[in-house]
Structure 1
Amino acid sequence: MPATNYTLILFAIVAVTRALGVYEAHRTREDAVQQGIMRGLVEKEARRQAPGVVTSVDEKVRNFTTLREFGGTISLIDRVLRQRTYGMKIRYTTKAEGLVSWNGGEILVDNKRFSIENIPTVVHD
C-alpha cells in the first residue's frame, strides 16, 4: 500500500487509541468512586478522593502514546507514531499524479480548464 494511503489508517489508529485511553481513565475514576462508596464514604467525598481523569490521562500519555525518545516507553504505539511520521514525510514530499487532458485548444488539469494562451497567467498565479 502506498504511504499516501496508509497514513490515514495510522491516524485513525492513534485517534482511537487516545480515545480509549480517555475512556479507560474515566472508568478508573468511576470504579474508585464506587469503591469509596462501598467503604462507607459519601459520594461527594468519594469523588474528591478518587484520582482525577486528567492525572490518569497524563500518565497513560506519558507511558503509551509518547515516543520513547521523549520519555515514553517502548510500545506498539511508538512504532505506529514513527510509521505515521515517516508516511507523512513521504506524503508531503512526493508529487501526486495529476489528471491532465486536452480538449481542442483547452488544457484540463484536474477540474480546472484554461486555454494555451492563458498558460503564462496560470503559471504566474
Structure 2
Amino acid sequence: MDAESLEMLARSSCTAHPQSFGGAPAESSCKHEHSHIVDSKTHGGGYAGPVSRRIFCSHCRLQRWLDVEAALALAQADVGVIPPEAALEIAKAARLSAVDLQQIKARSASVCHTRRHPPAQMPA
C-alpha cells in the first residue's frame, strides 16, 4: 500500500474528519494523540484504573529504568566490574529530572520501531 493510500485510510477511519461522513474536506481537529484504549478520554477509565496508571505511567517507567541502571552499576561495583566511585556517580545521576525528555522523544522517533513508512520507504 502506498503512502497516499495509507493516508486516505487513516483519514477515513478518524471521525474527526468531515469527509469520513461524506462531508467536505476540512482541517482536522483531531491530533491523533489518544491511540490506545487506555488513553481514551471516554473509555480509558474502564481499562485502566489509578493503580495500573501508576504502573504504566511513562515517567514512572523511565525512572524505573534509571533505577535498574543504578542498581546494576552498584551490583557491578560490588563484584569489581566497575569502580565503586563510578557506580555511585551513575546512581546519583539516575534521576529522571536530569534527563532531557525531548531528546529521548526525538531519538526514539528516529529509531522507527513502528511501520510509519510504507515498505518501499523503510530505512535499510
TM-score class, shorter-chain normalisation, is 0.3 to 0.5
Higher relative CO (Cα under 8 Å, sequence separation at least 6) belongs to: 1
Larger relative strand fraction: 1
When normalised by structure 2's length, the TM-score is 0.34
The TM-score normalised by the length of structure 1 is 0.34
